[in-house]
Amino acid sequence: MLTKIENVLTKEQVHSARQKLAAAEWVDGRVTAGYQAQEVKRNAQVAEGSTASKEVGEMVLLGLARSPLFMSAALPLRVFPPMFNSYAGGQTFGTHVDTAIRQISTTGQRIRTDLSATLFLTDPEDYDGGDLVVEDYYGEHRVKLPAGHMVLYPATSLHRVEPVTRGNRVSSFFWIQSMIRHDAQRTLLFDLDTAIQRLAGIEDAKVKESSVQMTGVYHNLLRQWAEM
């Protein structure tokens, strides 16, 4: 399931984030890539553990915590500390699958990467190319969102970033370990939760009764499938 989440960061927060990142230390993006990804990864990223990475990362995490859509779609158990990358001058990231297990450098904690996230920090009109292309059973999905918006998709997906031929594409990227390991189960719970929320505003006794029953089904499935 690919989910677009609007306004994780406000325009003011995006501006502040870009200022902090502009003054940060940038390194070769291949330093955090796996063996195969190193062959196709050409970008720059902010050094892990830097002050800018921590400050802007905290801003991103607070934005996620305020998003009901993110909580419903991801059912997060752990979130990898947000990282930040930049593409310019033809830089690209060829087709790859994200590493299954990531280790947080500061704590040593390991996270299973169930979901991948890209939070855009540059508006689409400010650069050419740079589309995030995610492949699934239904074909390719091209994503290029306004600054402050985010896309969430299964980390098992083949995906790539097209070459940036004009301007500079800056974004945050990170991974989520969900309470629900399997994408099909997460999708079912998300669809059920969405239906329950739609029914919540209808003032009808029978609808409310059905909503309560559906809520029970949701939580019983969550109780059965969740890993903590």
Angle formed by the axes of helices 183-200 and 205-225, nearest 10°: 160
The three-state secondary structure class of 202 is coil
pLDDT tens, position by position, 61-107: 999 999 999 999 999 999 999 999 999 999 999 999 999 999 988 88
Kindly provide the b/e burial profile for residues 57-85, where b requires at least 16 CB atoms within 10 angstroms of the residue's own CB: bebbeebbeebebbebbbbbbebbbbbbb
Taking CA 27 as the corner, what is the angle to CA 124 and CA 149, rounded to the nearest 5 degrees?
Answer: 25
Contacts of residue 77, Cβ cutoff 8 Å, sequence gap at least 6: 176, 177, 178, 179, 227, 228
Q: How far is CA 139 from CA 135, 142, 158, 178, in A?
A: 6, 10, 11, 25
Is 85 in contact with 161 (CB distance < 8 Å)?
no
Is 24 in contact with 46 (CB distance < 8 Å)?
yes
Radius of gyration of the chain (CA): 19
Query: How high is the pLDDT of residue 28?
Result: 87
Name residues of the chain where pLDDT drops below 70: 33-37
pTM of the model: 0.93
To the nearest whole number, what is the mean pLDDT of the chain?
94
The backbone torsions φ and ψ at residue 66, rounded to the nearest 5 degrees and listed phi first, read -90, -5
**Which domains, from first to last, does the chain contain?**
3-178 (2.60.120.620), 183-225 (4.10.860)
The three-state secondary structure class of 206 is helix
The three-state secondary structure class of 50 is coil
Query: How high is the pLDDT of residue 35?
Result: 66
Backbone dihedral region for residue 59 (phi beyond 0: left; psi -120 to 50: alpha; all else: beta): alpha
